[in-house]
């Protein structure tokens, strides 16, 4: 990974609204509404915990190249 690459995660599709990630994110980056989970791109540190543990594989890794 390049040094200027920032990684975050986002809920894309297939969220079953289990609520697991909201409880387990250590950075308060995930909120929950009737559509499911949403990851705050400003707060997400890219730790990958939600991605690794989402039972529905609803979370996607995003690489942001910073100019």
Where on the chain is the footprint of ligand SF4 (CB under 6 A)?
9, 11, 15-21, 25, 27, 29-30, 36-37, 39, 44-51, 54, 56, 58-59
CB of 8 to ligand SF4, least distance (A): 6
CB of 37 to ligand SF4, least distance (A): 4
Query: Measured between alpha carbons, how far is 6 from 47 in angstroms, rounded to an integer?
Result: 11
Output the CA–CA distances (angstroms, integers) from residue 28 to 2, 32, 63, 65, 66, in the order listed. 26, 11, 20, 24, 23
Shorter beta-carbon distance to ligand SF4: residue 4 or 35: 35
Shorter beta-carbon distance to ligand SF4: residue 59 or 64: 59
> How many H-runs (helices) and E-runs (strands) does the chain carry?
2, 4
């Amino acid at each position: 990974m390049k040094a200027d690459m920032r990684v975050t995660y986002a809920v894309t599709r297939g969220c079953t609204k289990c609520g697991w990630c909201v409880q387990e994110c250590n950075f308060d980056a995930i909120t929950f509404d009737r559509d499911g989970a949403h990851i705050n791109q400003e707060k997400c540190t890219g730790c990958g915990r939600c991605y690794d543990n989402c039972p529905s594989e609803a979370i996607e890794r995003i690489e942001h190249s910073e100019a």
